[in-house]
Amino acid sequence: MRARRYSIQATRLLRREGYESYKRVTEWPLGLAVSFAGAYHGFVACSRIVVTSVILLAGAALLACAEAEKTPPASPTMTSLPSAPTAAARTPTVDSASPSPTTTAASGRERVLVTRVIDGDTVVIDGGARVRYIGIDTPEDTNTKECFGDRATERNLALVEGRFVELERDVSETDRFGRLLRYVWVDGLLVNEQLVAEGYAFASTYPPDVKHQQRFLNAQSAAREAGLGLWAVCVDDAPPPGDSDDCDPSYPDVCIPPPPPDLNCPDVPYFNIRVLPPDPHSLDGNTDGVGCVG
């Protein structure tokens, strides 16, 4: 009886041990299969994410390319070199509509408005200053009436009155009467020279302002030879000494201003000058009546 009980217990033990062994044997492949299935599903999920990301990136790239094709490429800009000024650009012009009468013009000239003409070689500009034309002298038409003086004044009126002109300075700022000494330009025309060329004025240089002296002398020679203006009516052959207010009487045949400043022969554009006492510039060193012998 006891032996049978032991036998039954042994059988039960063997069955239990066999089941545990069987369980251990069957659980390992099942776990491996479960792990493999989980890994597979994880791989599939990751693959889907990667593929989706690649598709999205590719779509974005395609859209960017499409937008780039729609946008026209910017044309390269070329910086052009400054062209040489034309003749029109080099020629100063007068704009009567200019809002500022004191605008600095080309070549250091000053643009001003002429408000009144006094005579053939003197004008008044906006602000009240008087301007005396450099290098020329016209017959008097104010206190003293000289031959062709009224016509010189009329010509100067036609050239500059009520217009913007450009004033060019030489060496001196003013004369001894406080008048501005200037060359006057209008529409590219040097008015000083034009008055001489048309026979309304004499070339009369006032040292040291001799910048355009040769131009005036050339214009005077041409006008004299052609018998223009005052050369046909008022004089025989030689110009007068000039404006008596600006010329020292010690040098009656030419126009040399009285001192100051004191002038020497190199400062005077004349030779073999007739000199009368008191000779304030001491141009006649040996007192023989002839100065600056050339």
Q: How far apart are CA 220 and CA 222, in angstroms?
A: 5
- Both tokens assigned to 228: 């223009």
- The domain tally of the chain equals 2
Q: Is the Cβ–Cβ distance between 180 and 123 less than 8 Å?
A: no
Predicted local confidence at residue 108, as pLDDT: 87
- State pTM to two decimals: 0.51
Please name the residues in contact with 188: beta carbons below 8 A apart, sequence gap of 6 or more: 91, 92, 93
Q: Specify if 277 maps to a domain.
A: yes
Among 203, 218, 240, identify where a domain stops: 240
Could you give the residue numbers annotated as active site?
A: 132, 140, 179
Same domain, 111 and 136: yes
Q: pLDDT tens digits for the chain (294 residues)?
A: 666 666 676 567 556 665 565 556 455 556 656 566 666 666 666 667 777 777 877 777 777 766 766 655 554 444 444 444 443 333 334 344 444 455 555 578 999 999 999 999 999 999 999 999 999 999 988 888 889 999 999 999 999 999 999 999 999 999 989 999 999 999 999 999 999 999 999 998 777 899 999 999 999 999 999 999 999 988 654 455 444 557 889 888 888 888 888 888 888 777 778 889 999 999 988 888 888 876
In angstroms, the Cα distances linking 270 to 205, 212, 237, 251 are 10, 15, 18, 11
**274 and 172 within one domain:** no
Q: What is the CATH number of the domain that holds 106?
A: 2.40.50.90
What is the domain extent for residue 259? 247-294
Looking at the fold, whether 232 and 253 belong to one and the same domain comes out as: no
Q: Which residues contact 70 (CB under 8 A, 6 or more apart)?
A: none
SS3 content of the chain, % helix, strand, coil (to 5): 40, 15, 45
- For 41, the enclosing helix (H) or strand (E) is helix 2-70
Q: Which of 208, 225, 240 is the last residue of a domain?
A: 240
